[in-house]
Structure 1
Amino acid sequence: MPVFNERATIGNVIGRLRDLEIKGVEKEVIAVDDGSTDGSAQLLKKLASDKSIFHKQNKGKGAAIQTGLAAATGDFVIIQDADLEYNPEEIESLVKKAQEEDLLVVYGSRDREIKNYYRYPHYYWGSKALSRMINLLFHQNLTDPETCYKLVQADLMRFLHLEERGFGIEIEISAKLSRLGIPIGETSISYTPRSFEEGKKIRVKDGLRAVWLVMKYFLNDLHYGVVDRILRLWREGEAMRMLGVDKRQTWVDVGCGRQAHLGWRIRRAVGKYVGVDMEVGDGKMGNVELVRADVHKFAHRIGQPADVVVGLAIIEHLDYPEKFLGEVSKVLKSGGRIVLTTPAPWSDGILKLMVLLGLIDGKEITDHKTYFTLRGLKDLLERSGFEVERQKMFGFRMNGLTVAKKAK
Structure 2
Amino acid sequence: MPEPPPRKSSIPPPPPARAAGGAGPAGRRPLGVSVIVPAYNEERGIGAVLADLRRVLDGLELPAELLVVDDGSTDGTAAEARKTQGVRVLEHRANRGYGAALKTGIREARFELIVITDADGTYPCEAIPQLVERWRATECAMAVGARTGGHVQIPWIRRPAKWVIGRMANMVAGEPIPDINSGLRLFRRSVALRLFPLLPDGFSFTTTITLALLTNGFRVEYLPIDYRARVGRSKIRPIRDTLGFMQLILRIALYFAPLKIFLALAGLLLLLAVAWALVSRFALGQLADVSTVVLAEGALQIAIVGLLAELVNRRLPNLYRDED
- Is TM more than 0.5 here? yes
CA deviation profile, 1:56-102 (whole Å, cap 9, x unmatched): 11111111001001001212111111100111111111111111222
Q: 1:232/1:201 Cα in 2 relative to 1: closer, same or farther (>3 Å)?
A: closer
Corresponding residue number in structure 1 for 2:134: 97
Query: Quick check: 1:31–1:49 contact (8 Å CA) kept in 2?
Result: no
Aligned-partner residue type, residue 109 of structure 1: A
1:22-101 superposed matches below 5 A:
22-101=59-138
1:213 aligns with 2:248: yes
Query: For 1:8, which of 15, 24, 44 is the aligned residue?
Result: 44
Any conservation in 1 of the 2:66–2:86 contact (CA below 8 Å)?
A: yes
1:140 lines up with 2:175 in the alignment: yes
Return structure 1 stretches of 4+ with deviation > 6 angstroms: none
Q: Tell whether the 8 Å contact from 1:9 to 1:83 is kept in structure 2 after alignment.
A: yes
Q: What is the CA-CA distance between 1:229 and the residue it aligns to?
A: 4.7
Q: Distance in 2 between matches of 1:102 and 1:169?
A: 22
Q: Secondary structure at the match of 1:28?
A: strand
Determine which of 307, 311, 323 is the counterpart of 1:230: 311
| 1:215 Cα deviation after fit | 0.7
Residue 167 in structure 1 maps to residue 203 in structure 2:
yes
CA distance in 1: counterparts of 2:236 and 2:186, whole angstroms? 21
TM-score by length of 1: 0.54
Post-superposition shift, 1:44?
Answer: 2.6
Q: Which structure carries more helix by proportion?
A: 2
Equivalent residue of 2:121, what SS?
coil
RMSD of aligned alpha carbons: 2.3
Equivalent runs, 1:122-271 vs 2, <5 Å: 122-161=157-196, 162-194=198-230, 198-204=232-238, 205-221=240-256, 227=308, 229-233=310-314, 260-261=317-318
Does structure 2 retain, via aligned residues, the 8 Å contact 1:104–1:285? no
Contact 2:60 2:129 in 1 (8 A): no
Spell out, residue by residue over 1:156-192, the C-alpha distance to the aligned partner (whole angstroms, 9 max, x if none): 1111115311111121112211221211100111101
Give distance in 1, aligned partners of 2:234 and 2:215: 30
C-alpha contact (below 8 Å) 1:79/1:149 kept by paired residues: yes
Residue type of the alignment partner of 1:84: G
Secondary structure of 2:65's counterpart equals: coil
**Which letter does structure 1 place at the counterpart of 2:93?**
K
Question: TM-score, normalising length from structure 2?
Answer: 0.67
**Deviation of residue 31 (structure 1)?**
0.7
* Count of residue pairs brought into register by the alignment: 237
Percent of residue pairs identical: 26
Tell me if structure 2 keeps the 8 A contact 1:30–1:49: no
Partner of 1:325: none
Which deviations, in whole Å up to 9, do the C-alpha atoms of 1:32-75 show, x marking residues without a partner?
10111111122233432442111111111111001001001212
Amino acid corresponding to residue 66 of structure 1 in structure 2: K
The aligned counterpart of 1:284 is: 322
* Aligned residue identity for 2:40: F
Name the SS for the 1:2 alignment partner: strand
Structure with larger RCO (C-alpha < 8 A, sep 6+): 2
User: Matches of 2:77 and 2:150 in 1, distance apart?
Assistant: 32
Instruction: Decide whether the 8 Å contact of 1:127 with 1:144 is kept in 2.
Output: no
Structure 1 Cα separation of the partners of residues 158 and 323 of structure 2: 34
The structure with the larger Rg is: 1
Please say if residues 14 and 48 of structure 1, whose CA atoms lie closer than 8 Å, have aligned partners that are also in contact: no
Matches within 5 A, 1:288-367: none
Structure 1 residue 155: Cα displacement? 0.9
Query: Which residues of structure 2 form unaligned runs of 5+?
Result: 1-36, 258-304
Residue 232 of structure 1 and its aligned partner are, at CA, apart by 4.5
Contact between 2:69 and 2:101, CA under 8 Å: does it hold in 1?
yes
Q: CA deviation at 1:23?
A: 4.2
Whether the 8 Å CA contact 2:50–2:81 is kept in 1: the answer is no
Q: In the alignment, is the contact (CA less than 8 A) between 2:78 and 2:89 conserved in 1? A: no
